[in-house]
Structure 1
């Protein structure tokens, strides 16, 4: 069964796929009940679009939504801001700056994108992780991880420099997953790289970063594909599996090389050792994907949720639900 996604549902799932500024709900049949606008671009704005939102819950009715403001003339580069709702998403405040491309960092200026919000369990700090690339870059394919934190529910932010033991470029998309084993708690972040875009000797890899402090990050492991059936898997979302130590990942997919057909479905893989090693990623015919971002995670009832665009034109959002051990519906 397929349902249309509403903003109300996206808020309830903390999904990162609100469609900002949609048409009135009456124009969209299905599960849509109400549409709430968080922000809109003003006439003459230096930005060309609002994109890549992420929602976090600070308290019962205090929600924080971060999103990007893309600069004209750039691709996936701009500023990252947030908006706050104090009534469970019924209305939203004006944007608050988290990362600003106009403010220099030493002798360099950066542009930012793809924010990820995370509040560690039993802590009163909200983190915002994002990507930054020098402003003279034309896109953000070769960006680095950056971070800021808020101690007042998103009203103000303090940037911090991360200790990165992974030295390569990366692209963020999905949220952070805390896991606990005999060694303690680690935080996992699914990222990928696409150095092939600007370097014929580059590659395309989906991988996992891990941290024990949220300040120091290192490479945890790669998610491999079947060698004789290559695919470009990227923008993976990770979620806890049904068994102890099990973690699942669902990725966006694209053609392995330019000009080749796109798979048209998401790829999935499983780790059974808390994200240290992964099975080969394989296509899942029940999860459509047309080389566009998707959301994958578990809700408070333990169900898996998959949010996706149903066509290459990305004209709508849909979702599927899977109970533990059941089929997608």
Structure 2
């Protein structure tokens, strides 16, 4: 599945080593990069990982492969750009395009030095070496360079696109510095001699990796750097980091430089750019638009001792910021099927992109540590505020996001005598489905449950339009039940929004509003009010990191929380559930509307 502004992807390469059980024989990430010489000629590079015989752990090292296409990705010719040998392997490849002459920046590893004191072989330290091609990637020759970076435990690690600015080539990189990892840029006037600028100061309690750079939208003399973050507030171990990610939003760190990377402002966390366990790709197009491609967390941690959440790299999102505007909502880029049941199952990760026309990119990424994928992405069209789903039961009939396209919707047949049961037609993908005795009355949709069963109205969402969302609905609680936070019985006026990566769970009770926070399966009161059950318009805006903000009758309540990670079927559902003992729950839903989460200051 890909987003609505993403083309169907091509598979560049998909050969892997598998064991007798069909699972991957090793887990090395392929981490591809791409150059678009025009809308037809493409060059892609990636790492072909190996399992090191000295260590049973995954290894991010191997040969560097290359593929060329002259027909916009329809067909590919594969070759080896830099071969692994008995003494050397490679950690990364990033392309630099200097007016059609291609340079492959490679992280080379000396195998005998590949032990960094952290438990085994992991592909560090690296030294940056370069190969050059003057024939669109058909052949490559060594291009000697000198790189002035102090020895350190990581060496010189490059994960972002080079930028030409102020007469210099600038390459974002990160390395060990002191007791942590920090980021800056390498600077060169001739592509042969590279010196390090200054390193940005990390946010407190955060380590930095995989920086990206772009020229600022606001000032052509300013650079913006966006980095992956590793939260260390609870300690430096993986378990301590995971404990933080279980319950909190996580963001990229950003900094700016006005002297081509010689100095940087202190890094701060950017709440517009989420970051979970893997790099966020960041660039600027020729029209000045920022593009960020990132992973959601996608699935919850599976048990108290789980070191990583299930499905934690399975969904790629992207978002755009146009000059002078706020960031647009994050929206689906790609979410592919699981090709394995163990390592890297279903991962869509490590995106890179190159612009071939204003606002149009070729994007490369790896799927399931198996396939190198390429698709076109068009960011020239704003996302707009067209509803993802909507329904209005006060006017005698429901409307839906699909109605304008002529799809079949639920027949609601409003009837003042409260005897018309709705939901007799339609399907979850084409309109509202009503169940459990939901009825349309003169004042809206009546949802009532006198026992353990639920009464609901549900609308299946178009996965390709998956995005950060704003939910707004109006109604009231007629009969208050007793909510059990563990079982979910007693929901008086519930609503669920699943977008394929996250899930908002909310219920309005007479005493306030309850929800389920990230990392928890229990209902918890997030907003207290003795008048919550009265007629009101409620709104919840959910951003790219999963942070929700609650509004009541257009007023900001000041209530925020982080919603659950979830792979549940995309849907908008309103429901009520009584208790097994017969304590009934009843609510009336007048209307509901789900839209992309546009910044309301625009």
2: CA distance between counterparts of 1:160 and 1:47?
31
53 and 212 in structure 1: CA distance in 2 versus 1, 3 angstrom threshold: same
Q: Does 1:65 align with 2:44?
A: yes
1: CA distance between counterparts of 2:193 and 2:46?
24
The CA deviation string for residues 71-94 of structure 1, in whole angstroms up to 9 with x for no partner, is: 12352100111100101223222x
Q: Quote how far apart the aligned CAs of 1:323 are.
A: 0.6
Q: Residue in 1 aligned with 2:8? A: 34
Q: Residue in 2 aligned with 1:186? A: 168
Query: What are the equivalent positions in structure 2 for 1:156-195 lying under 5 Å apart?
Result: 156-168=139-151, 169-180=155-166, 185-194=167-176
Task: Say whether the 8 Å CA contact 1:209–1:221 is kept in structure 2.
Answer: no
Q: Residue in 2 aligned with 1:3? A: none
Task: Say whether the 8 Å CA contact 1:115–1:128 is kept in structure 2.
Answer: yes
* 3-state SS of 1:222 partner: coil
The aligned length equals: 284
* 3-state SS of 2:13 partner: coil
2: CA distance between counterparts of 1:294 and 1:52?
12
The CA deviation string for residues 123-171 of structure 1, in whole angstroms up to 9 with x for no partner, is: x421000101112421223111111000111001012332122233121
Q: Residue in 1 aligned with 2:221? A: 245
2: CA distance between counterparts of 1:33 and 1:219?
39
Q: Does 1:209 align with 2:186?
A: yes
Task: Say whether the 8 Å CA contact 1:221–1:277 is kept in structure 2.
Answer: yes
TM-score, length basis structure 2: 0.45
Q: Quote how far apart the aligned CAs of 1:53 are.
A: 0.8
Query: What are the equivalent positions in structure 2 for 1:111-190 lying under 5 Å apart?
Result: 111-121=89-99, 124-136=100-112, 137=114, 138-168=121-151, 169-180=155-166, 185-190=167-172
Q: Find the partner of 1:87 among 58, 71, 74.
A: 71
83 and 250 in structure 1: CA distance in 2 versus 1, 3 angstrom threshold: same
RMSD in angstroms over aligned alpha carbons? 2.2
The CA deviation string for residues 8-55 of structure 1, in whole angstroms up to 9 with x for no partner, is: xxxxxxxxxxxxxxxxx4xx5654441210001155698755611111
1: CA distance between counterparts of 2:210 and 2:199?
13
Q: Quote how far apart the aligned CAs of 1:287 are.
A: 0.9
Q: Does 1:75 align with 2:54?
A: no
2: CA distance between counterparts of 1:90 and 1:50?
24
TM-score, length basis structure 1: 0.80
The CA deviation string for residues 232-264 of structure 1, in whole angstroms up to 9 with x for no partner, is: 121110000021311101111112322243561
300 and 321 in structure 1: CA distance in 2 versus 1, 3 angstrom threshold: same
2: CA distance between counterparts of 1:323 and 1:175?
20
280 and 43 in structure 1: CA distance in 2 versus 1, 3 angstrom threshold: closer
2: CA distance between counterparts of 1:29 and 1:178?
31
Q: Quote how far apart the aligned CAs of 1:296 are.
A: 0.2
Task: Say whether the 8 Å CA contact 1:186–1:210 is kept in structure 2.
Answer: yes
2: CA distance between counterparts of 1:48 and 1:310?
21
* 3-state SS of 1:146 partner: strand
Q: Residue in 1 aligned with 2:476? A: none
Q: Quote how far apart the aligned CAs of 1:318 are.
A: 0.5
Task: Say whether the 8 Å CA contact 1:63–1:88 is kept in structure 2.
Answer: yes
43 and 231 in structure 1: CA distance in 2 versus 1, 3 angstrom threshold: closer
Q: Residue in 1 aligned with 2:326? A: 327
Task: Say whether the 8 Å CA contact 1:50–1:67 is kept in structure 2.
Answer: no
Task: Say whether the 8 Å CA contact 1:265–1:284 is kept in structure 2.
Answer: yes
Q: Residue in 1 aligned with 2:292? A: 306
* 3-state SS of 2:125 partner: coil
